[in-house]
Every structure is written in C-alpha cells, then in structure tokens.
Amino acid sequence: MECAAPPPPLGLWSFIRHSLFREYGWQFFLRIVLPHPLKALRAIRTAAALDVSGDRVDTPAAGHEAPFGGPRAVLGLGFCMKPLDPPCPSGRFNHDCACLEGRFGNGPLPAACRQCAIRELGLLALRSGAAVYIMTSARDILFDLYLPALRYRTFTTGLFTLCRFSLRPFAVGLLAAGLRGRMWPFQSGDCRDYPTWLRADGGDKNDRTVISAAGHEMIRDILLAAPPALVRSTAYEKRGEILVPQAAPAASGDESQ
C-alpha cells in the first residue's frame, strides 16, 4: 500500500490570509502595509515569484552587490539551530548566546557550544563587524529587524537561515524594508506546514534544524571573504535583541583629561 503524498505547502497569499488576524499579521499590516502600500504590494509580488527550490534564495538587489560585513550587515540564524542534547546553556527560544557574548571568558566551552553552528558562524561574522540576530517569532523579527531597517536603515544586507516554508513570507519583510537578503533553507528539522510553523513561532519546537553542508560552506565562504572590521571585537553585546560587536575599550592614552 502506497503512502499518501504530503500536502503541498501553502502559497504566499494563503500564508498571509492565515496570519492576518494573528498579532504578527495585523502588526505587519498596520506598521508596514498601511504606511507603505505600494512598497508592500511590490514586495509581495516579488516574493511570490521567487524560486525557493534551491539551496540559496536571494531577494533582488538594487545596484551593485556590496561585500558582506560592517555595522549595517546582519547574520540571522534560527533559534531552532541551538543544540538540544546537550542543551544550549542560554536556553532555546530567545535571542541569547552566552558563547558569542563572551560569558565563558577564556574558560572551557560547554559541550553544546562546541558543536553549535550559531557559535561558529557568529564568530566569523564578528570578524567582519556584522551583527548577529538569533531569530525567534515572526513578531520579534518584525520589530527587531524589518521596522528598524525600514525606518532607520539600521541594516541593509543580511544572511539568513530559516525553514523553506517561510522563505517567501520572510522575503516579503526583507523587500518591504529595503533589506537585501540571502537565505538558506534548513535541510532537516524544519517546519513544513502552517500548524507546525505556528507552534514553532510560539517556542514549541522539539527538533533541531540543520542547513545542508553546501549551504553551511556557502555562508562560511561569504563570511571569510568579508573585509575585516576596522575595529576588532572579541565578543558581542546585546543592543535590544540584536547582538552587536562590543565597542573596543579606549586606550589609556585616549582618555579625556
């Protein structure tokens, strides 16, 4: 007896319709669609036409592609990439990473951190002066990423890992905010339907997500090719919910008299 084929994923308009009366949906409508209707409609049309079947999906870029790095660049990684066994010492459904924030100093790293892709990629991003954002709920992404980018150009470019199911909806926010994005879908552990995505959006996610080896190498290559930051930091600090490179301490000769 043959197994029934899985149901096809929701299209972008179906995703929007399902989300409209949830907080993320109506907040997005009030704060982005109503003030910027033409920009939002263009973003939806462009995102709907994206081919999301490959190992990497890019939102269309305006003008020349600048190298990744610097204070207006952000590496966005799903909270669900955090280890489960042993568990992440910072907890799971949050924007924290004790390792990237330097809380362990020069001491031994916990076993969970030694096998964590967030730590590895985050440290490479630190070399380029880019921020790191551990992504949790759609609402948080709206307020922490899309709105600051739209209003203040806080970020202009980003590298992101997320469920293939979320690629087009996520691209809508990037395009509406004017944020050039390169996105890699998870290969395993990802959400593949709306009910599962909705539970994960509230923190109920019992699987660890993993990007493909090829995707991991692509992100590493981009981060390694980024120009080194002018001021090197050794750890991140929280600014709101975003991890930004710590300001280097002033040299004693530079202190004001």
18-38: per-residue pLDDT in tens?
Answer: 999 999 999 999 999 999 999
Kindly tell me if the per-residue pLDDT of 233 is higher than 90.
yes
Q: Which of 120-124, 162-166, 172-176, 249-253 has the lowest mean pLDDT?
A: 249-253
Kindly tell me if the per-residue pLDDT of 181 is higher than 90.
yes
Kindly tell me if the per-residue pLDDT of 231 is higher than 60.
yes
Q: What is the pLDDT of residue 2?
A: 42
Residues near 199 by beta carbon (within 8 Å), at least 6 away in sequence: 205
Written in H, E and C, the secondary structure of the chain is CCCCCCCCCCCHHHHHHHHCCCHHHHHHHHHHHCCCHHHHHHHHHHHHCCCCCCCCEECCCCCCCCCCCCCCEEEEEEHHHCCECCECCCCCCCCCCCCCCCCCCCCCCCHHHHCCHHHHHHHHHHHCCCEEEEECCHHHHHHHHHHHHHHHCCCCEEEEEECHHHHHHHHHHHHHHCCEEEEEEEEECCCCCHHHHHHHHCCCCCCCCEECHHHHHHHHHHHHHCCCCCCCCCCEEEECCEEEECCCCCCHHHCCC
132-168: per-residue pLDDT in tens?
Answer: 999 999 999 999 999 999 999 999 999 999 999 999 9
